[in-house]
Amino acid sequence: MSDVNQIHIDTRDFECLTDNSHFEFDTSKIKNYPDRFFHTFDSVVKTIEDLYNRSGGEGTWRCLWLRGEGEKASENWNLKYIHIYRTEFGFVICGNDNKALSRDVLNSEMESDEILNTH
């Protein structure tokens, strides 16, 4: 996977698309917080597996909604897609709006409304 620069995941069913083209992700606001925002490839895999399992595992549909404190990027349909980009500091995990999500947000409690759960 050393040639993968982008990973895009549809969180409704966790289908994954990889891309080797380069995307210039702006790290200027987060580069001073490496432990909060940057991931190795292995930690990306573990994070996505965790989100998949906590959101109900195998299924044809779900709405992934995290309860990150004050973090609108992880609410409602803002995580319909997860975009992961390789940067010079490591991989960055983003929501629909390409805003980097911190480890705290990614590890936050999942909204468990029955309507949103895996179907």
Match 């083209």 to its residue by tokens.
Answer: 21
Domain boundaries, the chain: 6-106
> For 52-64, what is each residue's pLDDT tens digit?
998 888 888 888 8
Q: Quote the pTM value.
A: 0.89
Cβ atoms of residues 29 and 92 within 8 Å: no
**Whats the size of the chain, residue-wise?**
119
**Closest Cα partner for 103 from 92, 89, 116?**
92
Match 């909204």 to its residue by tokens.
Answer: 111
Q: What pLDDT is stored for residue 1 in this prediction?
A: 58
Is the pLDDT score of 119 beyond 60?
A: no
pLDDT tier at 50 (50, 70, 90 boundaries)? very high
Q: What pLDDT is stored for residue 65 in this prediction?
A: 84
